[in-house]
Structure 1
């Protein structure tokens, strides 16, 4: 093995706006030695045909919907077949989680009462999620940061790891190494300030919390989020092969069929 081979592979980072950043996830990956290969398919950046040369991939959030008809949205949804087929670490956050769900045939939908989750909301681990916590050695955070008006169902054959109130499915594992989180563990203080300023009109939606609650909530709830994310990323980068979701191999086979 050459010294070049021993270097950590880059992680593919998929963003959706010109000013978007990978936040805390990006920082923690760089601290582990992984370069960030940042792509923005919305602005015509291509996605790789294989993740052979990447350690994993993260699709982040954005103001668009996984139900939109834009070409780049459809391309990203279809591209989810690549990490599933290759059993490479994949993480979908908010929009990215909904894209994975859509790829696997699950519903992405608005709340029937028109409610949104924008701010900090409770998170409850399932039995599967509790088993993951035992592997990580860190409990799930009790509250996590949200910014969304749509949720998703758990795809057939996947495992629900955590639930919420208005949007029941909050975290999912599909196959051995693909995870989908409806919440935003990557958010930094600067991102919270930016989102609540530039998109302040969203704070008036039913169920959304006022800006003051976002900032106060961060002081109360963010330290456990950071501890949990730090432990989770080590598990994720290792491939998450322990306690794979039921029917994980069938799900990978289905992804391979979709990509052909």
Structure 2
């Protein structure tokens, strides 16, 4: 029987990207739910085998502006309480941190571009070991404190918290290992055009980096997520 992966999406161009194939190879049926829809969360998928929360250009603390964030965070909190498998990316990682009791706040910088992360000792023993030395895509202006029970897995030269785990069932990535740096990357450049302009970042330089780094990131990220998914079989 295929397992179900419910993927919470905030903007259409930030999807599972290169993670989609490893998910299917691990026998997951992928179903997307757009968190801004009136029927979110979907009643027929309250307890999927795996919940994935993707990125988006808003802040966890903007519930007054985006009311769906309260429903989404409650959905994630219930998942944490049940100790069910959960993966978060960027905003998704921050939502998991907040649901676990941590503080999410602006970091004071826009960390956008490709560079590697430094793994902690715990990170080197985790599936993130496959990413060591490989530049990943950073695209965020917020960060989070580490909640009780969470283990920091990675940091960068600009932001201390870049990934964490809670037990074996929860993995949260502040960076984008899943980004499709091929043809799909142009959607990121168009979708985030205003943010890039405001930050003074050249889309052409990002495009060149994506072309150069993409193949190695695709391979390393595939190994990382495949190992993590295989570890859920015993959860």
Which range moves more in the overlay, 213-222 or 160-169? 213-222
Label 1:118 to 1:45 Cα distance change in 2 as closer, same or farther (>3 A): farther
Measure, in 1, the Cα distance between the counterparts of 2:233 and 2:173: 18
Measure, in 2, the Cα distance between the counterparts of 1:168 and 1:225: 21
The structure with the greater share of residues assigned to strand is 2
Aligned to 2:36, what secondary structure does the other structure show? helix
Contact kept in structure 1, 2:116 and 2:156, CA below 8 Å: yes
In the alignment, structure 1 segments of 5+ residues that lack a partner are 1-6, 245-260
Which range moves more in the overlay, 149-158 or 136-145? 136-145
Q: Is 1:200 paired with 2:190?
A: no
In the alignment, structure 2 segments of 5+ residues that lack a partner are none
Q: Which runs of 4+ in 1 moved over 6 A?
A: 49-52
Match of 1:183 among 175, 178, 197: 175
Q: Is 1:97 paired with 2:111?
A: no
Contact kept in structure 2, 1:9 and 1:53, CA below 8 Å: no
Deviation at 1:202, TM superposition (A): 1.6
Residue 6 of structure 2 is matched in structure 1 by: 12
Deviation at 1:44, TM superposition (A): 2.1
Deviation at 1:121, TM superposition (A): 2.5
Deviation at 1:83, TM superposition (A): 2.8
Match of 1:107 among 103, 106, 119: 103
Q: Is 1:83 paired with 2:93?
A: no
Measure, in 1, the Cα distance between the counterparts of 2:212 and 2:85: 30
TM-score with structure 1 setting the length:
0.78
Alignment of 1:97-136 (within 5 A): 97-112=93-108, 115-133=109-127
Q: Is 1:40 paired with 2:34?
A: yes
**Number of aligned residue pairs:** 232
Deviation at 1:62, TM superposition (A): 1.0
Deviations 1:114-135 (A, max 9, x none): x2012213311000001115xx
CA RMSD between the two structures: 2.7
Measure, in 1, the Cα distance between the counterparts of 2:233 and 2:21: 24
Measure, in 2, the Cα distance between the counterparts of 1:35 and 1:194: 24
Measure, in 2, the Cα distance between the counterparts of 1:194 and 1:52: 30
Deviation at 1:102, TM superposition (A): 0.7
Deviation at 1:168, TM superposition (A): 1.3
Q: Is 1:149 paired with 2:141?
A: yes
Aligned to 2:184, what secondary structure does the other structure show? helix
Contact kept in structure 1, 2:116 and 2:134, CA below 8 Å: yes
Which range moves more in the overlay, 15-24 or 43-52? 43-52
